[in-house]
């Protein structure tokens, strides 16, 4: 199976509505380009807008993705501390212990609205 078949990750950013959607499998380094672009857009958005809502809907993640996510929520936390309204929806399969625990861990390092939804 090729990396593209394994790595089915969708990353969308809607500036007008202040929404980020990340959905799918993120298990190898090919996602880094998508995440780098997303991080740049989010930082820019938060500098000029007061609100951002992120839907993080993973089927599978790797260590590199998890490292990015800690940096990402740190950026969101900083924006929250500067008066921005930030909400994250962590949407994962309730049977996937690792993803559930990853969401719980991420939630512990922030004090903005971080909702875990198990499906």
| pLDDT tens by residue, 46-98 | 999 999 999 999 999 998 899 999 999 999 999 999 999 999 999 999 999 99
CA 85, distance to chain mean position in Å, is 16
Q: What domains, with CATH codes, occur in the chain?
A: 3-118 (3.30.750.24)
Question: Model-level pTM?
Answer: 0.90
Which band of pLDDT confidence, cut at 50, 70 and 90, is reported for residue 7?
Answer: low
Q: Which helix (H) or strand (E) holds 47?
A: helix 31-48
């Amino acid at each position: 199976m090729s990396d593209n078949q394994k790595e089915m990750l969708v990353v969308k950013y809607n500036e007008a509505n202040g929404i980020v959607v990340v959905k799918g499998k993120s298990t190898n380094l090919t996602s880094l380009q998508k995440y780098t672009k997303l991080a740049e857009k989010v930082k820019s958005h938060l500098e000029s807008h007061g609100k951002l809502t992120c839907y993080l809907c993973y089927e599978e993640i790797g260590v590199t993705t998890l490292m990015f996510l800690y940096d990402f929520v740190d950026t969101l936390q900083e924006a929250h501390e500067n008066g921005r309204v930030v909400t994250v929806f962590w949407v994962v399969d309730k049977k996937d212990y690792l993803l559930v625990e990853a969401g719980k861990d991420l939630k512990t390092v922030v004090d903005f609205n971080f909702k875990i939804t198990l499906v």
